[in-house]
Chains A and B, each alone.
Chain A
Amino acid sequence: MFWQLITPLLIFGVVSYALLRGVDVFGALIAGARDGLNVLLRIVPALVPLLAAITMLRASGFLDAFSEFSRPAFQWLGIPPECAPLLIVRPFSGSGALAVGVELMVSHGVDSLVGRTAAVMLGSTETTFYAVSVICGAAGVTKTRFIIPAALIADLFGFIMAAAAVRWFFT
C-alpha cells in the first residue's frame, strides 16, 4: 500500500511545498522535462550500439555460458550468476550497465529475482571509474591514493547487498 502511494505523495508534497513558497511549479516542471529530453538525447546514441552488442552476446549463447562459468564464485557471494555481466560493466560505463540491466529485465522478467537484483544494483552503485576520473581530473588530483580500492570495495559490497536485499524483500 505504502509503496504504491510513495510516488504520487512525494511528487504532490514537493509540488505543493514549492507552490507555497511561490515557485512557478508548472514552468519548473516544463523546464525540467526539457532537461530530461536532453538527458535522453545524450544516452540514446550510446544505447544503440551497446544494446546491439549485448543482444548479440545473449543470442550467441555467450551470456548464458558466461554466467554458467562464473556460477560457483557468484553462488558463494549469494549473487544470481545471470548478473555477472552487469558487475563487470558497471564500474566502467553507465549507459553500458543500463543496457545490460535492461537486457536482463527483458530476458529474465522485470519482476523476477534477476530483473530486480539488476535494478537494485544499478540504482545503488555508480560508474566508479568515470566519477573518479572526472572529479579528480577537474580538481587537478593526479595521485588518487586509496580512492579506487575503497570505491571498488564499496561497489562489491553493494552488489552482494543488492542481491541479499532483493532476496529478503521479494521471496
Chain B
Amino acid sequence: MAMSVLLVVMMLCAIIFAAFQGTTAEMSSGLLDGAKDAVGLAISMAGVICLWCGVVEVMRRSGLMEKLAKILRWPISALFPEARKDNSLRGDIAASVSANLLGLGNAATPLSIRAATRLHDISGRSGKASNSVCMLVILGSCSIQIIPATIAAARASQGAANPFDILPAVWITTVLSCTVGIVAGVLLKRVWK
C-alpha cells in the first residue's frame, strides 16, 4: 500500500511540475524511457548478480557461515546477555548475523526472524520488545553485508571503471553507522522502557 501511494505521489509531482515548467513532452517520453531502461538495467545486472549468488552458494555449502558464526561468539555474548549461557540461542543469533554479513539475502531474513522469535519468547513479554530483541532488529536494519553485490552489479551495468572501488568507503560507512545504531540502542534502552 505504501508503495502505491509513493508511486501516485511521484507521478502527480512530475505531471504538475511538467505542466508549470513546460516540460510535458520530456516528461511523457521519460515515462516510457524509464520503463524501457528498467528491463535493460535488469538484463545488464543479471550476469553479476547470478555470478555472485553462485559464489554465495559455494560459501554456504563449504561451511564458511559456521566458521564466521564461531568468530562472532564473543561480540554476540557482549551484546546479548541472554546468549552468554545458552549455546543454541547464541548459535541462532550468530547464524542470522553471519548470513547478513555474507549477503545471503534469501537465508538471512528467516534466520533473523528465528533469532528474534527466540529472544522474544525468552523475554516472556507479551508484545513489547526486550532490550535484546531491539538490539537484534537494529542490527538487522543496518546493512552489514561485506560485499554489496547488487550495487556493484548496478555500477557495472552503468559502465563503471571499477565497480568494486567503492568497497572501502562502504565498509567504513557500514561499520560506523552500525556502531552509531548500537550506541543509540544502548543509550535509549535505559530511558525508553
Contact = CB atoms under 8 A, between A and B. Distances in A.
Indicate whether A and B interact: yes
Given A52-B38, A56-B10, A15 B155 contact: no
Given A21-B62, A145-B192, A96 B6 contact: yes
Given A32-B56, A33-B51, A60 B17 contact: yes
B50 A37 contact: yes
* Majority secondary structure, B binding face: helix
B117 to A, nearest CB: 4
A158 B177 contact: yes
Interface string B160-173: 11101111111011
Contact of B54 (A24, A32, A92, A166): A32
Contacts of B151: 101, 119, 122-123
A126 B151 CA distance: 12
Interface string B49-66: 111111111111111100
B13 interface: yes
B120 interface: yes
B137 to A, nearest CB: 5
B45 interface: yes
A123 B143 contact: yes
Nearest to A19: B62
B133 A141 contact: yes
* Majority secondary structure, A binding face: helix
A36 B140 contact: no
Interface residues of B, number: 100
A111 B169 CA distance: 14
A3 B113 contact: no
Contacts of B150: 98, 122
Nearest to A155: B177
Given A120-B173, A136-B137, A141-B120, A3 B164 contact: yes
Q: Across chains A and B, which 9 residue pairs bring their CB atoms closest together, nearest first?
A: A32-B57, A55-B34, A59-B30, A154-B181, A158-B177, A123-B148, A36-B53, A32-B54, A142-B127
Interface of A: 3-4, 6-7, 10-11, 14-15, 17-18, 21, 23-25, 28-33, 35-37, 39-40, 43-44, 46-62, 65, 89, 92-93, 96, 98-99, 101-102, 105-106, 110-111, 115-116, 119-120, 122-126, 128, 131-132, 134-136, 138-147, 149-151, 153-155, 157-158, 161-162, 165-166, 168-170
6 contacts: A15-B55, A37-B50, A60-B30, A124-B170, A145-B193, A146-B189
